[in-house]
Amino acid sequence: MGCQNYDDQFDDLNAQISALKTQVDGLQAISAQVASLSGTISGLQTGVNAAQAAANAANSAASNIDFSAINTSLAALQAEIESVKDALASAATADEVAALSDELEAIDLSLADLLASSNVYSTSVTVNSAASLESALALGNKLNVLNASLTIDLSSVSSPDYTKVQQVIDNVITVNGNVVYKSHANSGTEVIFTNLASARDISVKQSGGYQFPALTAAENVTLDESYTALITTISLPNLASVTSIGGGTIGSQDADELNFSSATTMNLGSLPFSHIADYDFVLKKGGDLNISSLSSKKFFWSIQKL
Protein backbone atom coordinates (compact mmCIF):
# COMPACT_ATOMS: atom_id res chain seq x y z
CA MET A 1 0.00 0.00 0.00
CA GLY A 2 2.82 2.39 0.97
CA CYS A 3 4.67 1.69 -2.28
CA GLN A 4 1.53 2.45 -4.24
CA ASN A 5 1.30 5.83 -2.47
CA TYR A 6 4.91 6.58 -3.42
CA ASP A 7 4.16 5.66 -7.03
CA ASP A 8 1.18 8.01 -7.04
CA GLN A 9 3.25 10.78 -5.50
CA PHE A 10 6.03 10.34 -8.07
CA ASP A 11 3.48 10.36 -10.89
CA ASP A 12 1.95 13.53 -9.51
CA LEU A 13 5.38 15.18 -9.14
CA ASN A 14 6.35 14.26 -12.69
CA ALA A 15 3.08 15.71 -13.95
CA GLN A 16 3.76 18.96 -12.10
CA ILE A 17 7.31 19.14 -13.49
CA SER A 18 6.01 18.50 -17.02
CA ALA A 19 3.35 21.19 -16.62
CA LEU A 20 5.92 23.66 -15.30
CA LYS A 21 8.28 22.97 -18.21
CA THR A 22 5.45 23.51 -20.68
CA GLN A 23 4.63 26.81 -19.02
CA VAL A 24 8.25 27.99 -19.01
CA ASP A 25 8.72 26.99 -22.66
CA GLY A 26 5.52 28.83 -23.52
CA LEU A 27 6.67 31.98 -21.74
CA GLN A 28 10.03 31.90 -23.52
CA ALA A 29 8.34 31.48 -26.89
CA ILE A 30 5.95 34.36 -26.19
CA SER A 31 8.82 36.56 -25.03
CA ALA A 32 10.62 35.95 -28.34
CA GLN A 33 7.41 36.66 -30.30
CA VAL A 34 6.89 39.90 -28.38
CA ALA A 35 10.42 41.07 -29.21
CA SER A 36 10.06 40.13 -32.88
CA LEU A 37 6.63 41.71 -33.36
CA SER A 38 7.65 44.83 -31.46
CA GLY A 39 10.71 45.15 -33.70
CA THR A 40 8.60 44.69 -36.82
CA ILE A 41 6.18 47.43 -35.80
CA SER A 42 9.03 49.74 -34.86
CA GLY A 43 10.59 49.15 -38.28
CA LEU A 44 7.26 49.79 -39.98
CA GLN A 45 6.94 53.09 -38.11
CA THR A 46 10.40 54.07 -39.35
CA GLY A 47 9.47 53.14 -42.91
CA VAL A 48 6.13 54.95 -42.78
CA ASN A 49 7.77 58.10 -41.41
CA ALA A 50 10.42 58.00 -44.14
CA ALA A 51 7.80 57.47 -46.83
CA GLN A 52 5.76 60.37 -45.48
CA ALA A 53 8.83 62.63 -45.41
CA ALA A 54 9.65 61.69 -49.00
CA ALA A 55 6.06 62.40 -50.07
CA ASN A 56 6.10 65.76 -48.29
CA ALA A 57 9.42 66.70 -49.90
CA ALA A 58 8.00 65.86 -53.31
CA ASN A 59 4.74 67.64 -52.45
CA SER A 60 2.94 64.46 -53.36
CA ALA A 61 0.05 62.56 -51.81
CA ALA A 62 2.04 59.36 -52.41
CA SER A 63 -0.92 57.58 -53.96
CA ASN A 64 -3.72 57.62 -51.40
CA ILE A 65 -1.84 56.48 -48.30
CA ASP A 66 -2.94 58.03 -45.00
CA PHE A 67 0.40 57.97 -43.17
CA SER A 68 -1.01 59.61 -40.06
CA ALA A 69 -3.71 56.96 -39.66
CA ILE A 70 -1.18 54.16 -40.19
CA ASN A 71 1.12 55.59 -37.54
CA THR A 72 -1.78 55.96 -35.09
CA SER A 73 -2.77 52.33 -35.63
CA LEU A 74 0.83 51.13 -35.33
CA ALA A 75 1.20 53.01 -32.05
CA ALA A 76 -1.96 51.35 -30.74
CA LEU A 77 -0.66 47.91 -31.70
CA GLN A 78 2.69 48.67 -30.05
CA ALA A 79 0.81 49.60 -26.87
CA GLU A 80 -1.00 46.24 -26.98
CA ILE A 81 2.33 44.46 -27.32
CA GLU A 82 3.68 46.35 -24.31
CA SER A 83 0.61 45.20 -22.37
CA VAL A 84 1.36 41.58 -23.27
CA LYS A 85 4.98 42.10 -22.27
CA ASP A 86 3.91 43.44 -18.86
CA ALA A 87 1.49 40.53 -18.37
CA LEU A 88 4.30 38.02 -18.99
CA ALA A 89 5.85 38.95 -15.64
CA SER A 90 2.79 37.74 -13.71
CA ALA A 91 1.59 34.83 -15.86
CA ALA A 92 1.31 31.89 -13.46
CA THR A 93 -0.79 29.25 -15.21
CA ALA A 94 -0.84 27.44 -18.52
CA ASP A 95 -4.21 29.07 -19.29
CA GLU A 96 -2.71 32.53 -18.80
CA VAL A 97 0.20 31.67 -21.09
CA ALA A 98 -2.22 30.37 -23.74
CA ALA A 99 -4.31 33.53 -23.46
CA LEU A 100 -1.24 35.72 -24.04
CA SER A 101 -0.28 33.62 -27.06
CA ASP A 102 -3.78 34.11 -28.49
CA GLU A 103 -3.53 37.85 -27.86
CA LEU A 104 -0.22 38.03 -29.74
CA GLU A 105 -1.71 36.13 -32.67
CA ALA A 106 -4.60 38.61 -32.76
CA ILE A 107 -2.16 41.55 -32.80
CA ASP A 108 -0.24 39.94 -35.68
CA LEU A 109 -3.51 39.51 -37.63
CA SER A 110 -4.49 43.10 -36.89
CA LEU A 111 -1.13 44.26 -38.26
CA ALA A 112 -1.65 42.24 -41.45
CA ASP A 113 -5.16 43.71 -41.86
CA LEU A 114 -3.83 47.24 -41.30
CA LEU A 115 -1.18 46.92 -43.98
CA ALA A 116 -3.54 45.23 -46.41
CA SER A 117 -6.05 48.07 -46.08
CA SER A 118 -3.61 50.99 -46.05
CA ASN A 119 -2.54 51.01 -49.70
CA VAL A 120 1.12 50.40 -48.89
CA TYR A 121 2.90 48.43 -51.59
CA SER A 122 1.85 44.81 -51.08
CA THR A 123 3.22 43.01 -54.13
CA SER A 124 6.40 40.94 -53.77
CA VAL A 125 9.31 42.42 -55.70
CA THR A 126 11.72 40.19 -57.62
CA VAL A 127 14.82 41.43 -59.44
CA ASN A 128 16.48 38.78 -61.61
CA SER A 129 17.10 40.57 -64.92
CA ALA A 130 17.95 43.99 -66.31
CA ALA A 131 14.26 44.59 -67.07
CA SER A 132 13.04 43.66 -63.60
CA LEU A 133 15.76 45.87 -62.09
CA GLU A 134 14.38 48.83 -64.03
CA SER A 135 10.86 47.99 -62.84
CA ALA A 136 11.98 47.87 -59.21
CA LEU A 137 13.87 51.14 -59.61
CA ALA A 138 10.75 52.80 -61.03
CA LEU A 139 8.84 51.98 -57.83
CA GLY A 140 10.98 54.53 -56.01
CA ASN A 141 9.66 55.47 -52.56
CA LYS A 142 6.86 52.92 -52.79
CA LEU A 143 9.47 50.45 -51.55
CA ASN A 144 9.95 52.35 -48.28
CA VAL A 145 7.26 50.16 -46.73
CA LEU A 146 6.90 46.80 -48.45
CA ASN A 147 4.10 44.58 -47.20
CA ALA A 148 5.51 41.59 -49.09
CA SER A 149 8.91 40.02 -49.83
CA LEU A 150 11.94 41.34 -51.69
CA THR A 151 14.14 39.01 -53.76
CA ILE A 152 17.17 40.25 -55.67
CA ASP A 153 18.91 37.36 -57.42
CA LEU A 154 21.70 38.51 -59.71
CA SER A 155 23.39 35.12 -59.97
CA SER A 156 22.26 34.66 -63.57
CA VAL A 157 22.33 38.31 -64.65
CA SER A 158 25.16 39.21 -67.00
CA SER A 159 27.01 42.36 -65.84
CA PRO A 160 24.34 43.70 -63.48
CA ASP A 161 24.24 47.45 -62.90
CA TYR A 162 25.16 47.58 -59.21
CA THR A 163 24.63 51.33 -59.04
CA LYS A 164 20.95 50.78 -59.82
CA VAL A 165 20.80 47.75 -57.52
CA GLN A 166 22.09 49.92 -54.68
CA GLN A 167 19.48 52.58 -55.48
CA VAL A 168 16.70 49.99 -55.20
CA ILE A 169 18.05 48.71 -51.90
CA ASP A 170 18.38 52.25 -50.55
CA ASN A 171 14.63 52.70 -51.09
CA VAL A 172 13.81 49.76 -48.83
CA ILE A 173 13.26 50.63 -45.17
CA THR A 174 10.95 48.01 -43.75
CA VAL A 175 9.77 44.72 -45.23
CA ASN A 176 6.89 42.80 -43.70
CA GLY A 177 8.16 39.70 -45.48
CA ASN A 178 11.49 38.09 -46.33
CA VAL A 179 14.56 39.69 -47.92
CA VAL A 180 16.81 37.57 -50.15
CA TYR A 181 19.86 38.93 -51.95
CA LYS A 182 22.33 37.00 -54.13
CA SER A 183 25.13 38.74 -56.01
CA HIS A 184 26.52 37.78 -59.41
CA ALA A 185 29.11 35.13 -58.47
CA ASN A 186 32.01 36.53 -56.46
CA SER A 187 31.74 39.90 -58.19
CA GLY A 188 33.55 41.74 -55.40
CA THR A 189 30.86 44.43 -55.56
CA GLU A 190 29.25 44.90 -52.19
CA VAL A 191 25.81 46.38 -51.69
CA ILE A 192 25.02 47.96 -48.33
CA PHE A 193 21.55 47.64 -46.84
CA THR A 194 21.75 51.28 -45.84
CA ASN A 195 18.21 51.96 -44.64
CA LEU A 196 16.72 48.53 -43.94
CA ALA A 197 15.31 48.76 -40.40
CA SER A 198 13.31 45.54 -40.14
CA ALA A 199 12.25 42.43 -42.03
CA ARG A 200 11.17 38.88 -41.39
CA ASP A 201 13.87 36.44 -42.59
CA ILE A 202 16.98 37.94 -44.22
CA SER A 203 19.30 35.85 -46.42
CA VAL A 204 22.27 37.47 -48.16
CA LYS A 205 25.04 36.08 -50.35
CA GLN A 206 27.78 38.36 -51.66
CA SER A 207 31.48 39.11 -51.38
CA GLY A 208 33.07 42.16 -49.82
CA GLY A 209 31.03 42.34 -46.65
CA TYR A 210 27.65 42.37 -44.95
CA GLN A 211 26.57 45.78 -43.70
CA PHE A 212 23.16 46.58 -42.20
CA PRO A 213 23.72 49.87 -40.34
CA ALA A 214 20.02 50.57 -39.63
CA LEU A 215 18.71 47.06 -39.00
CA THR A 216 17.11 46.71 -35.57
CA ALA A 217 14.80 43.70 -35.90
CA ALA A 218 14.55 40.49 -37.91
CA GLU A 219 13.63 36.88 -37.37
CA ASN A 220 16.26 34.63 -38.96
CA VAL A 221 19.36 36.20 -40.51
CA THR A 222 21.65 34.12 -42.75
CA LEU A 223 24.96 35.59 -43.93
CA ASP A 224 26.17 33.18 -46.60
CA GLU A 225 29.78 32.03 -46.14
CA SER A 226 30.41 30.94 -49.74
CA TYR A 227 32.82 33.82 -50.38
CA THR A 228 34.36 33.91 -46.91
CA ALA A 229 37.85 34.70 -48.21
CA LEU A 230 36.53 37.94 -49.76
CA ILE A 231 34.34 39.09 -46.89
CA THR A 232 36.05 41.68 -44.70
CA THR A 233 33.21 43.38 -42.84
CA ILE A 234 30.28 42.08 -40.81
CA SER A 235 28.34 45.03 -39.41
CA LEU A 236 24.89 44.85 -37.82
CA PRO A 237 25.50 47.27 -34.95
CA ASN A 238 21.86 47.99 -34.09
CA LEU A 239 20.35 44.50 -34.39
CA ALA A 240 18.67 44.09 -31.01
CA SER A 241 15.79 41.73 -31.79
CA VAL A 242 16.49 38.50 -33.68
CA THR A 243 15.50 34.85 -33.44
CA SER A 244 18.67 33.47 -35.00
CA ILE A 245 21.72 34.76 -36.84
CA GLY A 246 24.31 32.54 -38.48
CA GLY A 247 26.50 31.73 -41.43
CA GLY A 248 26.43 28.60 -43.55
CA THR A 249 24.61 28.95 -46.85
CA ILE A 250 21.21 30.26 -47.86
CA GLY A 251 18.74 27.52 -47.06
CA SER A 252 21.14 25.83 -44.65
CA GLN A 253 22.01 28.23 -41.86
CA ASP A 254 24.70 27.48 -39.25
CA ALA A 255 22.73 28.96 -36.38
CA ASP A 256 25.59 28.59 -33.90
CA GLU A 257 28.42 30.40 -35.70
CA LEU A 258 29.60 33.28 -37.85
CA ASN A 259 32.72 31.96 -39.57
CA PHE A 260 34.42 34.74 -41.52
CA SER A 261 38.16 34.19 -41.26
CA SER A 262 39.02 37.22 -43.45
CA ALA A 263 36.80 39.67 -41.59
CA THR A 264 38.67 42.53 -39.95
CA THR A 265 35.48 43.95 -38.39
CA MET A 266 32.55 42.11 -36.83
CA ASN A 267 30.13 44.51 -35.14
CA LEU A 268 27.16 42.98 -33.33
CA GLY A 269 27.16 45.46 -30.51
CA SER A 270 23.40 45.37 -29.81
CA LEU A 271 22.93 41.61 -30.19
CA PRO A 272 21.08 40.46 -27.06
CA PHE A 273 22.71 37.69 -25.05
CA SER A 274 19.38 35.89 -24.74
CA HIS A 275 19.74 34.63 -28.31
CA ILE A 276 23.27 33.28 -28.00
CA ALA A 277 24.46 30.02 -26.47
CA ASP A 278 27.55 27.97 -27.38
CA TYR A 279 28.31 30.31 -30.24
CA ASP A 280 31.47 30.69 -32.36
CA PHE A 281 32.65 34.01 -33.76
CA VAL A 282 35.51 33.56 -36.24
CA LEU A 283 37.38 36.52 -37.73
CA LYS A 284 40.85 37.51 -38.91
CA LYS A 285 43.66 37.69 -36.37
CA GLY A 286 43.84 41.22 -35.01
CA GLY A 287 40.29 41.93 -36.17
CA ASP A 288 37.84 44.04 -34.19
CA LEU A 289 34.90 42.16 -32.59
CA ASN A 290 32.07 44.02 -30.87
CA ILE A 291 29.65 41.84 -28.90
CA SER A 292 29.29 44.24 -26.02
CA SER A 293 25.67 43.30 -25.24
CA LEU A 294 26.43 39.62 -24.67
CA SER A 295 26.84 38.23 -21.14
CA SER A 296 29.50 35.66 -20.25
CA LYS A 297 27.68 34.93 -16.98
CA LYS A 298 24.90 32.97 -18.63
CA PHE A 299 26.14 31.94 -22.04
CA PHE A 300 29.28 30.60 -23.66
CA TRP A 301 30.86 31.63 -26.91
CA SER A 302 34.28 31.19 -28.42
CA ILE A 303 36.19 33.84 -30.34
CA GLN A 304 38.67 32.62 -32.92
CA LYS A 305 41.00 34.98 -34.72
CA LEU A 306 42.71 33.07 -37.51
How far, rounded to the nearest angstrom, does the alpha carbon of residue 232 sit from its chain's CA centroid? 22
Point out the domain boundary residue: 59, 83, 116. Answer: 116
Q: Are 245 and 97 in a shared domain?
A: no
Specify the number of domains making up the chain: 2
Q: Are 147 and 269 in a shared domain?
A: yes
Q: Are 176 and 237 in a shared domain?
A: yes
Point out the domain boundary residue: 116, 150, 183. Answer: 116
Q: Are 63 and 162 in a shared domain?
A: no
Q: How many CA atoms lie within 13 A of 41 on its CB side?
A: 26
Q: Are 69 and 146 in a shared domain?
A: no
Closest CA to 148 of 82, 113, 189, 199: 199
Q: Are 38 and 185 in a shared domain?
A: no
DSSP run (H or E) holding 17? helix 2-57
Residue 100 neighbours by CB under 8 Å, 6+ apart: 30, 84, 87, 88, 91
Q: Are 151 and 280 in a shared domain?
A: yes
Q: Are 135 and 60 in a shared domain?
A: no
Q: Are 158 and 93 in a shared domain?
A: no
Closest CA to 74 of 118, 124, 30: 118
What dihedral angle (degrees, nearest 10) is formed by the CA atoms of 133, 55, 197, 181?
Answer: 0
> What's the chain's length in residues?
306
Point out the domain boundary residue: 91, 116, 141. Answer: 116
Q: Are 22 and 66 in a shared domain?
A: yes
Closest CA to 241 of 207, 268, 222: 268
Contact, 270 vs 240, CB < 8 A? yes
Q: Are 154 and 88 in a shared domain?
A: no
Q: What is the pTM of this model?
A: 0.75
CA-based torsion, 29, 31, 34, 38: positive or negative:
negative
pLDDT per residue, tens digit, the chain (306 aa), is 455 565 555 555 555 555 555 555 557 778 878 888 888 888 788 878 877 776 666 554 444 678 888 999 999 999 999 998 888 888 777 788 888 889 999 999 999 899 888 878 889 999 999 999 999 999 988 888 898 999 999 999 989 999 999 999 999 988 989 999 999 887 778 999 998 988 999 999 999 899 999 898 888 999 999 999 999 999 999 998 888 899 999 999 988 899 999 999 999 999 876 556 678 899 998 899 999 887 654 444 556 666
Q: Are 147 and 268 in a shared domain?
A: yes
Q: Which amino acid is at 16?
A: Q
Domain that holds residue 139: 125-305
Q: How far apart are CA 195 and CA 224, in angstroms?
A: 20
